[in-house]
Amino acid sequence: MEKFKVDKHGYYGKFGGAYIPEMLHKNIEELQNKYLDIIYAPAFQKEFHQLLKDYVGRPTPLYFAKRLSEKYATNIFLKREDLCHTGAHKVNNTIGQILLAQKLGKKRIIAETGAGQHGVATATVCALMNLPCVVYMGEVDIARQAPNVQRMKMLGAEVRPATSGSKTLKDATNEAMRDWIAHPEDTHYIIGSVVGPHPFPDMVARFQSIISEEIRWQLKEQTGSELPNYVIACVGGGSNAAGAFYHFLDDETVQLIAVEAAGEGIHSGKSAATTALGKPGVLHSSKTLFMQTDDGQVVEPHSISAGLDYPGIGPIHAHLFDVGRAKFLSATDEQALDAVLELSRLEGIIPALESAHAFAILSEIGVKKDDTVVINLSGRGDKDLDTYLKRIAL
């Protein structure tokens, strides 16, 4: 029954665990011991679902995309996470974690961010709950993601530059860990994807699992069956995919398809296709697959979409790949850009660059006329308009 979910030691098969410094043992142990009791307490569930409804705007629609379906000669439904408050699925998780932080009595929130989407989702819930918020962000990312830095400041968060190493996401993650070690008592670290030490991957997957919970009843309402033939989602760390897959993991007739960013091509040296290029090792305090040199140093990833520009995947996805429960494909920058324009013109929906990767492989999976295909549209494209205007010939 639970062969695809986390075991009591925090592992998904060979992957997962909590490889943390001694100084964080108390915090992590507290979380491990308490998170399930806290998040499944009736009062917590009531508050969480109320906020998802009134603040985030859930349930998000499951939309039958008629023209896209005609083009691919099948039946395609879009799960509209792009319509969530702040423009993507990330807020499902930050709402859950801010409530958890309150129950733990924490008085201060820290987070790391690459593109700034998770930083914005965290700054948003900190404003909502009146908690001080520090977001670590690589200096390079601060320069290239200025609008999100401005949003975080507007929301009252402090954005602290990470100035070591490549000055990008992994350096911001190191800085956030360092901060947490220095302030273990009063601070909660809101991790933004299904990554990091146990219990974060499982906790984030549970908060995001609202996506597949809704898909099941929405499909039943529209087609008479809860089970599609395919669920497709893009994978950076893997939180939107974990949420879209979660309640289908044990229904093995449902084919789960994860799409990674191939960047300029899997073997171009500028890619983020972790399952094709990665090896097992410890990244961000958990055992998982990530792109590394022969001596285990992280290889800098590349993707045109900042949200997929991550050198690893969460341990749940390493496991789903390892046992073959999910199929992993990849799409290049160019394929994603083509998919952006196609969805814009066929359905009047401008997707986020990340989400476009999930659409880019539609012609590769052999869908049939009677199939039901669900694509998780993880976010909207407003944040990517500059890139679109530079890269797409209109």
Task: Please indicate whether residue 166 is annotated as part of the active site.
Answer: no
Pattern of binders to ligand PLP over 280-319, x per CB under 6 A? ---------------------------xx-----------
Contacts of 316 (CB under 8 A, 6+ apart): 4, 6, 12, 15, 16, 194, 201, 202, 205, 238, 242
Query: Residue 221 in contact with residue 42, Cβ under 8 Å?
Result: no
Q: Checking phi first, is residue 377 left (phi over 0); if not, alpha (psi -120 to 50) or beta?
A: beta
90 is an active site residue: yes
Site map 360..379 versus ligand PLP, x via CB under 6 A:
------------------xx
What is the layout of strands, in order, in the sheet containing 15-16?
11-12, 15-16, 286-290, 279-283
Quick one: the chain helix, strand, coil %, rounded to 5? 45, 20, 35
When binding is defined by CB under 6 A, the residue of 58, 80, 90, 170 that contacts ligand PLP is 90
Between the two ends of the chain, the Cα-to-Cα distance in Å is 50
119 in contact with ligand PLP (CB under 6 A):
no
Residue 257 near ligand PLP by CB under 6 A: no
* Residue 109 vs 205, nearer CB to ligand PLP: 205
Of the candidates 65, 129, 69, 67, the one whose C-alpha atom is nearest the C-alpha of residue 96 is 129
Choose, from 106, 170, 378, 383, the residue flagged as catalytic: 378
Pair of tokens at residue 207: 């908060």
CB of 235 to ligand PLP, least distance (A): 5
Judged by CB under 6 A, the stretch of 145-153, 231-239, 270-278, 282-290 that binds ligand PLP is 231-239
Give the range of 38-46, 60-68, 215-223, 235-243 binding ligand PLP by CB under 6 A.
235-243
Element (H, E) at 330: strand 326-332
Cα separation, 58 vs 81, in Å, equals 9
Q: Rounded distance, CA 297 to CA 176, Å?
A: 20
354: contact with ligand PLP by CB under 6 A: yes
113 binds ligand PLP (CB under 6 A): no
Among 134, 159, 235, 289, binds ligand PLP (CB under 6 A): 235
- CA distances from residue 193 to 76, 121, 308 in whole angstroms, order as listed: 26, 12, 11
Shortest reach from residue 45's CB to ligand PLP, in Å:
23
Query: Is 378 a known active-site residue?
Result: yes
Q: Least distance in Å: CB of 73 to ligand PLP?
A: 27
Residues that bind ligand PLP in the complex, under the rule CB under 6 A? 88, 90, 117, 193, 234-241, 307-308, 352, 354-355, 378-379
